Structure 1
Amino acid sequence: MKKLWLFMLIILLMLLMPISLLQTQPAHAESTQFINAEENIFLRDAPSPSAKQLSLIENFSKVTVLSKDRQWAYITHNGNKGYIHSKTLTTEKPEKFEPKKPPVITNGLLPKANRNYTYEPSFEGGAKTTYKASINPDIRNSVSLMEEDFIGYTYIENENSFELGVAYSDVFFFSLSYPMKEKSTIYDTDYGIESNTKTEVVVESTSTTLKTKAGTFKNVVVIKYPNGSKLYLAKDYGIIRVKNFEGEITAELVSVN
C-alpha cells in the first residue's frame, strides 16, 4: 500500500510540473553559432512558437548552442537561456547585409556624344523623333541633341547645375541645382526670356531602376515638381522619361545607337 501511495505521488508531481522543466535535450556539445534569419528573432522559454518571448535576438548575432535537434535549439545569449528554431542557425559567420546608400549625384547626366537618341513621344510630345548628339564647341561641358540644322536642344552641365534649353537660344526648360540627394529639395531655375524664378522640386530618388525600350537604367534620378509631373534622368543619357501631372508619359527614350 505504501509503495502504491508513493508511486501515485510521483505521478502527481510530474503532472504538476511546468512543461518547460520536462523538456529534455539530446546530447550535444556546446558550440558557437550565428543567427542567420530573414529578420531578428525571439528567444522563447519553451520549444514552441507560442511560448513566452524572453528577449529579442538581432539577426547575425553570435550565440552559444547548448543542445539542438532538427526543430529547436537550446541556446544562451546575453545571459539568457531559451529556445529558437534550429533552421535560424549557421556555423559560419554570415556577412551582415548593409543596404547601399542612394548615390548623391553631382555630375554625369550629360548624354554621350556621337550617338543617336530616339524618343517616342518626342520632346515635342509628338511622333517618334531621332536626335543626333554632338559636343557643342561654343559652350563648355555641353552636348546638343539636334533634329536637323539649328533645330534641337542643348544640355549644359557644371559643378552647380544641370540644364536643358533650346539650341541657339536663351530659352531653358530647366536648370536643376547640384548636388542631387535622394529625398532632398533642390531648385529648378527657369531662365526664360521674361522670368528668372526658382521653383523647389523634390529629388524623389537617385536609385531607381527604370526599364524602357532603350534598355534598363540603374540609379535613375527622379525629379518631382509641385504639380506632380516628373522628370527621369540617367547617367550618360540625360532625359529618359517625362511624365505630366496626370502620370502620362509625354516623352521617353526608346532607342540609342
Structure 2
Amino acid sequence: MTVTDLSPRPGPPALVLVAHGSRDPRALATVRALMERVRELRPGLPVHLGHIELNEPLLPDTLAALGDARAVLVPLLLSRGYHVKQDIPAMAAASAVRTRVAEPLGPHPLLVDALHDRLREAGWRPRPASAVILAAAGSRDPDARVDTARTADLLAARLGVPVLPAYASAATPTVPEAITALRARGRRHIALASYFTAPGRFATECAAHAPWIASAPLGVHDAMAELILHRYQRALGTPVTAAA
C-alpha cells in the first residue's frame, strides 16, 4: 500500500479523525465529506483520516505516514467503549507520533442539535402521545450505555417528549423491545432518531423497525464538524466556546 508522505511541518498538531470503518460504501463517503467540512471550517489545519478496521487508510498506516509529528486523534464515535479505551490508545502508543487522544463525540449538546435537525428533516413534529427511540449501535461497556442515556436525556429535554435508548447489538433494549415498551405507556406516535455517524447496516436495520418516521444518520452536519473541532481543541487544553 502506498502511503502519502505526511512528514511533520511547522504549524498546529494534525487532527486525525478515527472512524470505525464499514463495508457500506456510503459510510466511507460520508466520513470523507465530513472531513472536508472540518477542513473548510479550519483552513490550514492538517486533517487526516484513519480507520480502526474494514476501510483504508487504517489508523496505523495514517500514523506511520505522520512520522514523529504531533497529532490529536478524535474518535468519530458517539460514546465510550472498547475502541475508545483500548484500540485507539494502543494504536497511538505503537506509533512514533506524539499523540493525544480526544474524547468521543458524545454525549454533547451539539449532537442533540444534529439529532433534532435530522428528525425535523424526516417530518418530526410534536404530536399527542408521541415519543422517540434513540437507536444506537450498542456496546457491552456500561460507560457506553451511560453516555447514550445521557444523550437521550438531552434530546428528551429538547423535544419535550420521552426518548428511550435502544441498541442494534450487544445491549438492550433492542428497537422492537423499545417500541413495545413505549406502546405499553400509551405512546402512539413513535419516531426513531438514528444515532449513527454514517449510513451502514445497523442504521438501516434499526430504521426498518420504525413504526412512524426514522431520521437519517448524523452524517455531514455543521454541528458534527464543530464538535470534532471542539474535541480537538479540548484535547490540546486550549479554550473552546462550546459547552462540554
TM-score (norm 2): 0.22
Quick check: which one's strand share is greater? 1
TM-score (norm 1): 0.21
Quick check: which one's helix share is greater? 2
* Higher RCO, Cα 8 Å, sep 6+: 2
Larger Rg: 1
